Structure 1
Amino acid sequence: MSDQSEGIVEKVWDIFSSMKTGLALLGIVALVSGIGTLIPQEAMDPQKAQSVSAIWRMLGFTHLYSSVWFRLILGLLCVNLIVCSIQRFGGIYNQTYKPKLPSASSTVPQKIQAKITGKEDQLQQAALETFKSEGYRLTSDEQENHWSFVAQKYRWGNWGSFITHISFIVLVVGALVGSMTGFKGYFSAGAGDTLSIKDIELNRGTVTENFKIQINSVEDRMLANGERDNWYTDLSIMESGKEVARQTLSVNHPFTYQGITFYQANFAQGGKFTVDLKGQKIPIVLQNQGGNYYQVPGTDLFVILSALKPDTNQPVILYQVYKGNSPQPVKMGQMSKGQTDAIENTFNLTFDGLAGYTGLQVKKDPGVSVVWIGSALLMLGLILSFYLRPVTISGIIEKDEEATLIFGALSGKLKSRAEEEFEKINNKLKAKIG
């Protein structure tokens, strides 16, 4: 590699190893996230996102988190964290497993320090016994003119900030994997309906799976005291005409199949009908207040349920029939359960009773498991950083006419804790030596 290429690589490395670069990228991510909370996002609320000015939608402000440039910023932040972690790894490893022993009294920590004079063997034995009894890991070395040591307690705490940095990398990778390979969508259907997973309304991503969803039943259950229990949807997964999975889901109790999760989002009242078209009986479910419509096969007639009285014993509905693009209905009427009306001398419509209409959020996020790993690493890093802060005490016994134990503690960010531990060790050493 030429000197010029090495210089470019070194400059790029310096940029990404800089804390300023990391802070700048974090600032941009925070700014974009702030904008995303103020401007409705298509993935979160498609209807509100459509009400945003066209110029903002064109500039991508309604799908910030899935934009290429936002993913690029996250990728650069990942690179920055990785480079910083690589640079810090060697120092943390040596600090944990290969601590540097004092070579002279001048290399012993100065801010928190003490000296004890006595016999060489007595001082050394007292240090060994004291640090062992207090749970310290002791690394020592004996030379002709001195005996030196480093005592470490909670040495795994050295890895707290490193693991926290790694956790952010894993979290960003998980978010990127989820946004680039998953999808999020919504569909509403009535009891008895069957639709393909590819037919759901997508907010983001692409569906590659190819199975059908069958809605067996939908209920809005009430408790004996009149309060709502929950919304329930009995759902089956169909492949090649066979049921391969089935579960009843409700609010806060989703159903997952092949990494795709179905969430109960809403519920609407509806009605079950039978369309009798030249002897062919077709069961349909219509949502209350025109939430959906049914086009009679081979005609330009459309049926909607315009109103409903949800009386369990005597339900009553109002229906309307439209023809083509006409804004006025060609037929409207009221029916009780079991009643049949003839429509335009073309088909008969029978009201069979009440039916639920479910609304389900559908989500596939392959990055969830990665995000969970990142979250676990983050918790581990924070625990190590705040609850297992390492204490390091190093010292030396210089072999002169009268031996002196000179030892000191690294203060770190929590000086008070280091002073407390040091004072405890100092008092025990003095007591042993007498």
Structure 2
Amino acid sequence: MREWLRWGWAQLTSMRTALILLFLLALAAIPGSIIPQQSISPIEVMDYKAEHPELDRIWEPLGMYHVYTSPWFSAIYLLLFISLIGCITPRIAKFARDLRKPPPRLPSRLDRLPASATVDTPVDDALGIAEAWLKSKRYRTLRTDDGISAERGYLRELGNLVFHLSLVGVLVGLAWSNLGGFIGTVVVVEGRGFANAITQYDDFTAGAWVDTDALEPFSLRVDHFDARFETGRVQRGAARVFDAYVEVTDEGVTTDHLLTVNDPILTSGGTQVNLLGHGYAPNVTVTDGNGDVAFSGPVVFLPQDGNFSSVGVIKVPDGRPQRLAFEGFFFPTAVLDQDGPKSVFPDALEPELWINAWYGEPADETGIPESIYTLNTAGLEPVLGDGEERFRARMKPGAAFSLPDGLGSISFDGYSRWVKLQMSETPGNPVALTSLAIGTLGLCLSLFIKPRRLFVRLGDGVAVGGLDRSDTALGLEDEVSELAEALTKESE
């Protein structure tokens, strides 16, 4: 059993296994960039499941909607971590021993080396001249009565070790971010705010070390969001400006910030605020059958295409004597043709709100959360208009419609914009980024430093020889010739 364990450990800690695991880790990360991830976009996951039910039956058991926290991805990650540590540790010990050892013994026949030369003329103090030349080229030398052994290129192995240690540092940094960090998203309408508390998030994923009751105390308010699009004939509708004007209160100090897609805000406690997306929130007022305002305010609609044709649900559970609900379609630049209504430009040039209505008896509060983006029609009936057809309304800003049978009314008061913000803490990122920088330096050392040995032996003349310890090294013959030439010049 002990022999099997020793064999297994040797296989796991071999460089070949480490490379295979590194390749598998990169391969395992591919599904996370192709399949929507629950921690980043739960709405896209819902849409993906609805559109691909056959694939969903395969992906769900395999954990493809949360790839980076799945057991199989974590297993590869941990095995790679162990493999690298087991592979690097003995190499560090060997490198330390090599540094203490002097250059190798002087070969008896330098003419058998890959590159050699001979200076036939006796040279006074040949060893002193050769040693001075070698040290000027940063060689470590070992001088004996018969000649000199010289070696350089120790930093190549150091570069290799630094590179592999940096991979361990990257893994540590990523693990630290996963365990001690969090990522959450929230949709905030213009004029409204957000406080960094767990109950304020639409979606929140945290590591095992995160205390969700002690998140960094800061808040923000979205004062205004400015979106501009190309109006010319070339690239019409392409995004040109996405600017969110945000007021942040951090440690009791309120400051104004301009938040853009590639320029996040960093709070004093290390929380990063990113701008992920935006859309429209029609402002509506709903009056119930008793004549009371049962709902008033913006409702977030989700864009469905590049021209921001958006869908949303207006829920009025407090309507009396009947509760009301509306399924709506918002078109920023509305056009009605033979295919139906649609938006032909992403900016709100001709905004319209199209709705159909539902009503039903007031429902008991169950405390069970439900999505604000979908309507559960259980217990509801469609509102019927003339000719017993479904009631539908097409409204421009400022328009209002009364519902049949005294059920109430709805008005389209205008629209606001909303932004999707991502708050995240990744405490291991500095470690990972520093490790990457150090690893790049180590890789450069291992690629560009040439480990080489040169020898000088006294005899009837002076023999010079050398060999490279790397197959990719160049210039050995030239350096041997330069050393021989230096000795020849001294003999003249």
Q: Equivalent residues in 2 for 1:107-126 (5 A)?
A: 110-119=113-122, 121-126=124-129
Structure 1 Cα separation of the partners of residues 111 and 142 of structure 2: 15
Q: Which residue number in structure 1 is paired with residue 264 of structure 2?
A: 254
Q: Which residue number in structure 2 is paired with residue 328 of structure 1?
A: 382
For normalisation by structure 1, the TM-score amounts to 0.78
Retained in 2: the 8 A contact 1:303–1:322?
yes
Deviates more, 1:277-286 or 1:174-183: 277-286
- What is the DSSP-based 3-state SS (H/G/I as helix, E as strand, rest coil) of the residue aligned with 1:137? coil
Q: Which residue number in structure 1 is paired with residue 21 of structure 2?
A: 25
Structure 2 Cα separation of the partners of residues 429 and 293 of structure 1: 92
Q: Which residue number in structure 1 is paired with residue 454 of structure 2?
A: 394
- What is the DSSP-based 3-state SS (H/G/I as helix, E as strand, rest coil) of the residue aligned with 2:470? coil
Retained in 2: the 8 A contact 1:308–1:316?
yes
Q: Which residue number in structure 1 is paired with residue 487 of structure 2?
A: 429
Following superposition, the deviation at residue 260 of structure 1 comes to 3.4
Over aligned residues, Cα RMSD in angstroms?
4.1
Structure 2 Cα separation of the partners of residues 115 and 33 of structure 1: 58
Following superposition, the deviation at residue 57 of structure 1 comes to 0.8
Return 5+ residue gaps in structure 1 as ranges: none
Structure 2 Cα separation of the partners of residues 354 and 39 of structure 1: 33
Cα gap change, 1:224 to 1:425, in 2 (>3 Å): farther
Following superposition, the deviation at residue 21 of structure 1 comes to 3.0
Q: Which residue number in structure 2 is paired with residue 290 of structure 1?
A: 311
Q: Which residue number in structure 2 is paired with residue 301 of structure 1?
A: 324
Question: Does residue 226 of structure 2 align to residue 219 of structure 1?
Answer: yes
2:225 alignment partner AA: V
Cα gap change, 1:414 to 1:333, in 2 (>3 Å): closer
1:139 alignment partner AA: R
Within the candidate set 63, 67, 79, 1:76 is matched to 79
Structure 1 Cα separation of the partners of residues 275 and 98 of structure 2: 52
Cα gap change, 1:296 to 1:425, in 2 (>3 Å): farther
Cα gap change, 1:280 to 1:295, in 2 (>3 Å): closer
Within the candidate set 443, 468, 472, 1:382 is matched to 443
Q: Which residue number in structure 2 is paired with residue 186 of structure 1?
A: 185
Cα gap change, 1:8 to 1:184, in 2 (>3 Å): same
1:234-282: CA deviation from partner (whole Å, max 9, x where unpaired): 3344579x77555232222233334333333332233334668958995
Q: Which residue number in structure 1 is paired with residue 159 of structure 2?
A: 160
Q: Which residue number in structure 1 is paired with residue 421 of structure 2?
A: 360
What count of residue pairs does the alignment treat as equivalent? 422
Structure 1 Cα separation of the partners of residues 192 and 326 of structure 2: 16
Q: Which residue number in structure 2 is paired with residue 230 of structure 1?
A: 241
Identity of aligned residues (%): 20
Retained in 2: the 8 A contact 1:136–1:151?
no
Structure 2 Cα separation of the partners of residues 327 and 385 of structure 1: 73
Structure 2 Cα separation of the partners of residues 138 and 245 of structure 1: 59
Structure 1 Cα separation of the partners of residues 122 and 314 of structure 2: 98
Structure 1 Cα separation of the partners of residues 27 and 349 of structure 2: 56
Deviates more, 1:371-380 or 1:271-280: 271-280
Retained in 1: the 8 A contact 2:328–2:354?
yes
Return 5+ residue gaps in structure 2 as ranges: 302-308, 334-346, 361-376, 385-390
1:115-144: CA deviation from partner (whole Å, max 9, x where unpaired): 334546431233134335xx412433444x
1:385-405: CA deviation from partner (whole Å, max 9, x where unpaired): 22x32242332444x6x4634
Deviates more, 1:20-29 or 1:343-352: 343-352
Cα gap change, 1:8 to 1:121, in 2 (>3 Å): farther
